[in-house]
Structure 1
C-alpha cells in the first residue's frame, strides 16, 4: 500500500465493532436529526461518521465499518485522498469563490482540459461545469434541444437521472423519487431497456435495440427526437448491464436520425467499471456525456462534456450557475484525476471485480435466491428473487442488507423492484478488507435464508 493510498491520518484499515450498530452516540445524533432535518431525507444506515479513508468509515462510537458504498460511487479515490486534501487546502487558502461567470480562474479551464483528454473520442470537445448529476443531465438536455431544434427526449425503463423536475420525468421509478411531485416536464418518452435477466424473449443487444428503436419511430418519430439519454450501466435501476451490441446500435441510430446520443455516466464514470468510462467497453463515443459523483473526490462537481459544435450551439449565458465549477471542487477534481492515473484505479476496479465475481458466483451456487449476478469492474450487483422464478424478493434483500449493516459492512440496495444489492467499494480498498466484507455477506445469506 503506497503513501498515496494510505496517508498517515487515514483510519486503521480494519472492521471493528465496539458497540451495537448504531451505537449510543449515533442514536443521540439521530434524535437530534429527527428534530431538525426533514423527514423527507432518508438514511440507509443510522451511524454518524467521524472519520473515513481507504476502505473504512469510522463512526462517532468508534466502530469501524467496511465501506462497500463509497458515498454512492463518489469517493472512488477514497475519502480524504492525500492529493485531494492537499489541493483543497491550498485552494481554500487562496480563495473559495468568485463565480466563474463573473471573474474566471484557471482551475475551471484545467478541469475542462482534463475532461477533453479522458472522455471517449478524439473529436474537438467543450465542457460546462455544474454542481450535481441532476444539473448535468438537465443541461445536457437543454444543449441537445438547442442544437437540434427538436424537443423529444428518449429515456429507458429502469432509468435514474435525478431529482429535479425535468430529471424526475426522465427517471423511471416512482417511489421514492417521483411520487406526489408531479406534474413533470413534457416531451419525455420511455422505451424498453435491454435487461438480459428479465428479457423473457432472450433478446440479443441488437434485438433489444431494434425493439426500442421501433417504438421510438412509431410513437415519437425520428425527426422529433432531440436526444436519446441512456446509462451505459444503469445505476439506481439495479446495475442493469445491457446485452452486448445494444449501446452501439442505439448510438448508430442516433447518428442516422440526427439525434444527440447522451451517455449518463454520473455513476459509471471515473474508473468505476474498469475503464475511465463505461461507454468505452464497446467503443461507443457519446455526443454528450454527463459526469459527477467520482469526479472530485467527494466535493460537489458535475460536468457536461461533448462535441464542440453541440456545446457551442447554446447562446452565451444559456449555461452556468453561481456555484458551478467552484474552485475548491475544481482543485479536488484535478487531484482526483491525477490520483486515478498514478494509481491506475481503472486497473484496481478490474481487480475488485475479479475478486468479487467468483465469490458471488459461489454464493449463488449455494443460495438459489440469487437470481442474477452482474456488473463490471467495481460496480457489481446481485438480484434476489423467489427461488426458481424471476419474482423479486425485496424483503430478503432488505434483510441481507440489515444483517451486513449490523456486522459492520456498508452495503446499498437498488433496483426498480427494490431487490438488488449493489456494491461500490472505493477503488483504493485493500484486498483483505474486501475479502472480509464478502465473508460477512456470505454469513448474512446463511443467517437470513
Structure 2
C-alpha cells in the first residue's frame, strides 16, 4: 500500500453522537413515525422489486403477518413467483404510478431493486410520508445517501437498511464488547469479502439482443444513462457495472462497516485511497484494497480501516501467533487492540479470554432477533431501528467514498460540509451522478 498500516493503543467510551456531524444511533420517537395503518393491526406494504431479493423480502414480511397490497417490478418474468403467491396484490411496472394510485392505501414501502434505483424509489415513498425499508447499499452514490438521510429526518418516518446481520443480538453484543475495552485500544481494523461473485473487469457487450417480453428496459435503466438491453446486465449481473451497481465494496461494505462504526464511533474519514486491478470505466476492478483513515474522536485515537475484496485478504502475519495453523477464511473482520484482537467474533488469544464474561447489555435488542420485525415495530409504534437511514446513510456515504477513490485512482479527502473532494473536482461525477432526463430526487 502507498501508506503503511499502523497499530494503535487508545479508545474512549462510546458516546451517542457520531463525530463530525454524524448520525445518532437511534431516531427519536415522533408522532409522525407512528403507524397509520388499518385497525386490524397490520401494515399495508408495497414492494418496489418483486423478484430476486424482492421476492425473499416479500416472504419475510408476509411471515410476520403484514398485508402485501402492491407489487411493482420492471420485469414481470422475474416477479411471476411473487404474483402467483399474492394474487390479490395490485401489480405495477412503474413505482411512480403505484405511489400515485395507492398512496392512500399504503403504509410502508420496501425497495429491493438494483442499486442505481434505490434512492429514487425510496425518496419518492418517504416524501409521501411512507415508512421505508431499503436493501443495501442504501444508495448508488454519496450524494444520494445524504439526501436519503435528510428526507428521512424531515419526514420522520420509520426506516431500515437491509443489512440483516445488524439485527442479531450477537452482533450487538460484539459492539458492546469492543466498546468496553476488552481488547484494549484499537487503531487497526480489517474487513474482507470473497465478492465479487459476478463479472467485473470486463468490457461492454457489442451485440444488442431484443428486450425480453414483460421487461420494461427503460424503467429498469431509470436514472442511469441509456444503453441497449443485454443479459450481461440483468438479472443480477448489474452489480459489477459502474452505471448500475456499487461493486463488491457497496454490496458487502454496508454489511461490514456498521460494526466498526458503532464499536469505535467512526464518522467521516480524513482520507480514502485504493489500489486495484484497474477498471475500464465500464465495470469495477476484479480486486481492490481500500484504506480509510479516520481521525481522532475526542480521546479516541485515529483508526486505519482496510477493506479487501476479489480474493485479497489481510496478511497472515497479523494473526500468525494467534491462529495456530488456522487459515484466514474468505470473509471476515479483524480488530487489533493492544490487549487482544477480535477475529470473526472471537476474542484472541484464546487463553487470555477463556473466562471472559461479556459486559451487561447497553444496546436494545431487536424483537425476536428479527431485523424485519424491528422495522415493522418501528412503523407501528415509532420505536427505533438499528440501521435507520440517519445512521445507515452515514455509513453508506463513507463506504461509497471508497468507490470514488477506486474510480478516480486518487487519494480522496472528502469535505462532508460541501460534499466535495478537496482539490480534486474530477471526483464530483462519482460523488453525485448526473440523472437521465425525466428522473430526479
* TM-score higher than 0.5: no
Between the two structures, name the one with larger relative contact order (CA 8 Å, sep ≥ 6): 2
More helix by share: 1
Which of the five TM-score ranges fits, normalised by the shorter chain?
under 0.3
Which TM-score applies when normalising by structure 1?
Answer: 0.23
